[in-house]
Structures are given as C-alpha cells and as structure tokens.
Amino acid sequence: MSEFILHHYPPSPVSEKIRTGFGLKALSWWSVEQNRLPDRPELFAMTGGYRRIPVLQIGADIYCDTQCIFREIEARSPDPSFFPNRSAGLPFAFSRWTDGELFDAAFRVAFAPVAENLPAAFVADRARLYIGPNADLGKEFADLPHTLAQLRPQLGWLEERLQIGHPYLLGDTPGMPDLSAWFIIWFVNERYAQADEFFLEFPMLNAWAERMAAIGHGTSMPMTPVEALDTARAANPATIEHHDPLDPQGLKPGMNATVTPTTDSGEIAVAGKIRATSRDTIALTIENPVCGQVAVHFPRVGYRVSVIE
C-alpha cells in the first residue's frame, strides 16, 4: 500500500510537477482532491494554515512546497532518480528560475486574458497571491505583448538545450529539471488560447512536451480529506529531533517559531515548535485535537523562520 498522499487539485500546475514525478518513478499514490479556493479545513489543521498546493503527506509528516516534496520522494524511492547524470544540487537551482521568473510570465499569460470570465473571488485571490497587493489584471492584459516577450526567450533557452539532440534536459532520462519546466508548458498549453500558435517556433520543445505527457502520473487512488486527516491522527511523525550546529539563525529543537514565505503574497505565518533543522529544511511540530501531533516540513530557501520569544 502506498505511503504517499498528495493533496492537490487537477488544474493546479505546480501539482503537475509532482504528479508527473510519480509517473517518472512509476509510483502509486493517494490522491486527495482539495478545493481550489482556500477552503481546506482538514488540510489546514495538518499544515498550520500553509496556503499552497500541493502538499505531500506521509502518515503524520507533512511536506510543504515542491522543494521538500521532491526531496522526500527521492529519499524514499531513489530509483529512477530525479537527479540523473550526477546532476544533484543543480536541479534545485534550476527550479528557482522556473518557479520564479518563468512562472511569473506564464501566470500572467495564462491568467490575464481569461480573468474577466472567471469567478471574481478566484481572480482576486490568485492576483493577490501571485502579483501582489496592487494587482491590476486589466493592466496585465494590456501588457500582454510585453509579457509574451518575456516568456518567449525563456522558452527559447529550453528549445536551444533540446536542439543538442538529447530527449530530455539532462540527457537520455527525464529528471527534476524536466518536471520543473514541464509544469510551465502544461500550464500555458492548458490555459492560453493562442498556445498552439505561440509554441509553433519551438518544435523541439513541443516534441519534448509530448514525451513528458506520455510519462503519465503513475497510479493514483482516491482518498478524501477526512480519510487523510484520520491517517495523520492515527500516526506519529517519523521525523526525529535534529539540531544543526551550523544553523546561521541558531535555531534549536524546542524553540517556538513561525515560517512564512518571503514573497509579498499575503500568506499567513505557520506557527509551531522547531523539531528538526538542516541546511535545506525545517520541520515544525504542530499539535491540535483535530490532527494530533504532526511534523510539518518547509524548505529554507524562500521561507523566513522567526523565533517567537
């Protein structure tokens, strides 16, 4: 029986990275479909309110952000690797580009032209999250030619890489960089009405996208949010206390702390007790009557940890 429980929703592009990651490793997983708006009481009880999707749950260990999710899936199921061709480390640096400047342009291209036809609450929510407190989607729509001019050369970089002649970005086998680029192409293709025309100049990228789509999602089995919560309550976190003596902030297990994304996205701070720290991750212990005790894992890059005195 699979230990992987993925909280996601089908149109979520960032979740598509992980779904295809399960496909790459031919894994089976439990699929918990969450609401597209932040009405996710069972999940929020387990994450302390972390706002984003996807979230990976393994018993009473909860992994937030795809940085942590990739790391954990790789640790538990290393073969075939997300890091082929001895590429360890570099894919995380690569994903800072795809999650940052590349996603930023893709979001505007996918969202601005259709925003008028979407429910107002959904548009307001996503505009605040991805563009900021002064988001103006009318302006974004008017600025679409500029945004396309930002997106186009970045896709050109991928096209140039694929022109070398290997089927995937790192060579003959797909890895995390392919997944990190794939979710962008998937997102633009799904949402941007002129995508076919826009992608015409990228034949290698189109052929690669067909290979990526063919990887599939592994084998998923449905699970309800309540069943996932019951699974967490019935388990104990597997993460043991760990102190990193080189931690630049002097973080130690037992300290009370909050974790907040460093972007200006209006997201809440998740509060808990530090359980384990490393160069790359932090785990907070969160305890409440709804989910019992859980360990919630976050990346360090892109998140601020603040100690509560």
Return residues touching ligand GSH (CB under 6 A): 12-15, 38, 51-53, 65-66, 99, 129
Give whichever of 292 and 303 is closer to ligand GSH, judged by the CB atom.
303
Query: For residue 257, is it left (φ>0), alpha (ψ between -120 and 50) or beta?
Result: beta
Where does residue 188 rank: exposed (0-12), middle (13-18), buried (19+ CB within 10 A)? buried
Q: How far is the CB of 129 from ligand GSH (least distance, A)?
A: 6
Q: How far is the CB of 72 from ligand GSH (least distance, A)?
A: 13
Please name the amino acid found at residue 177: P
Spatial contact of 82 and 67, defined as CB atoms under 8 Å apart:
no
Q: How far is the CB of 100 from ligand GSH (least distance, A)?
A: 10
Q: How far is the CB of 160 from ligand GSH (least distance, A)?
A: 25
Give whichever of 15 and 277 is closer to ligand GSH, judged by the CB atom.
15
Q: Please give the Cα distance from 266 to 276 (Å, whole number).
A: 26
Give whichever of 93 and 308 is closer to ligand GSH, judged by the CB atom.
93
Q: How far is the CB of 276 from ligand GSH (least distance, A)?
A: 20
Q: How far is the CB of 200 from ligand GSH (least distance, A)?
A: 26
Spatial contact of 308 and 257, defined as CB atoms under 8 Å apart:
yes
End-to-end alpha-carbon separation of the chain, Å? 43
Give whichever of 36 and 273 is closer to ligand GSH, judged by the CB atom.
36
Give whichever of 34 and 220 is closer to ligand GSH, judged by the CB atom.
34
Give whichever of 130 and 167 is closer to ligand GSH, judged by the CB atom.
130
Q: How far is the CB of 280 from ligand GSH (least distance, A)?
A: 14
**Nearest Cα to Cα of residue 66 among 36, 40, 103:** 103
Residues 6+ apart with CB under 8 A from 267: 50, 51, 52, 129, 260, 261
